[in-house]
C-alpha cells in the first residue's frame, strides 16, 4: 500500500520529534525516569535502571531510524511495539488502581516538581493518537511529484501535531491542578 508523501512526511516528522524529545528528556534526568519505571511495580528492583535506560535509548533509536527511508518501516514497527509496551504497562497500572504515579512519558509538559501527574485513561488515548501517527510510516510514499504546497501542508501538519502533543502533555501533567480548580 502507498500513502501520499505529504501525509507520510508529516507523520514521520511528528513521530521523530515526539520520540526524540521523550528519549532525550529521559536521558537528561535518568533518576526521575527510573523512579517512574519503578512506580509501575512491574519489574524487580535490579531491572529498573537497565530497563529505563533501554527504553530511553530505544525511543532515540526509533527517532533516528525514522529519518532514513530504508529503515523507516522497521522503525515504525519498533515504535508501535514500544507504544504497545507502554499501553500494557499503563493499562495494568490503571487496572490495579495504581494511579498516583509519574507516567514517565513527559517530553514537553512534565511538571518535574516531585508531584506526579495522576495516571488516567487519557494516557491510553495519547498513546493511541501517537500510534495513529506512527502507522503511516509503515507504508511507502506514492510515486508522484512533490509540489511546493506539499511542503506547506507538511509544515502546517507538523505544527498542528506538535501543538496537540504539547497541549496534551501539559493537560496530563497538570490534571490534578485542573481537577482541584473544578471542585
pLDDT in tens, 81-129: 999 999 999 999 999 998 888 888 765 555 445 455 678 888 898 899 9
Tell which residue, 17, 6, 2, has the closest CA to residue 156.
Answer: 6
Query: Could you say which residues of the chain have pLDDT below 50?
Result: 111-112, 114
Which single residue is written with the C-alpha cell 529519518? 67
Give residues with Cβ within 8 angstroms of 144, minimum separation 6.
4, 5
pTM: 0.84
Residue span of the structural domain in which 108 resides? 2-182
pLDDT number for residue 167: 77
HSE on the CB side for 69, CA within 13 Å? 6
Number of domains in the chain: 1
Name the grid cell of 55: 527504553
Amino acid at each position: 500500500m502507498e500513502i501520499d508523501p505529504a501525509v507520510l512526511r508529516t507523520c514521520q516528522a511528528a513521530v521523530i520529534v515526539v520520540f526524540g524529545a521523550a528519549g532525550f528528556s529521559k536521558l537528561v534526568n535518568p533518576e526521575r525516569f527510573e523512579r517512574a519505571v519503578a512506580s509501575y511495580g512491574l519489574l524487580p528492583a535490579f531491572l529498573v535502571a537497565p530497563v529505563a535506560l533501554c527504553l530511553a535509548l530505544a525511543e532515540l533509536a526509533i527517532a533516528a531510524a525514522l529519518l532514513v527511508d530504508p529503515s523507516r518501516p522497521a522503525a515504525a514497527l519498533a515504535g508501535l511495539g514500544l507504544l504497545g509496551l507502554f499501553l500494557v504497562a499503563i493499562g495494568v497500572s490503571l487496572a490495579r488502581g495504581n494511579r498516583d504515579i509519574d507516567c514517565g512519558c513527559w517530553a514537553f509538559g512534565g511538571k518535574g516538581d516531585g508531584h506526579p501527574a495522576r495516571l488516567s485513561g487519557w494516557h491510553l488515548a495519547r498513546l493511541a493518537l501517537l500510534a495513529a501517527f506512527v502507522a503511516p510510516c509503515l507504508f511507502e510514499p506514492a510515486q508522484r511529484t512533490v509540489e511546493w504546497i506539499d511542503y506547506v501542508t507538511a509544515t502546517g501538519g507538523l505544527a498542528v501535531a506538535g501543538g496537540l502533543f504539547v497541549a496534551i502533555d501539559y493537560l496530563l501533567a497538570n490534571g490534578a491542578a485542573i481537577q482541584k480548580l473544578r471542585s
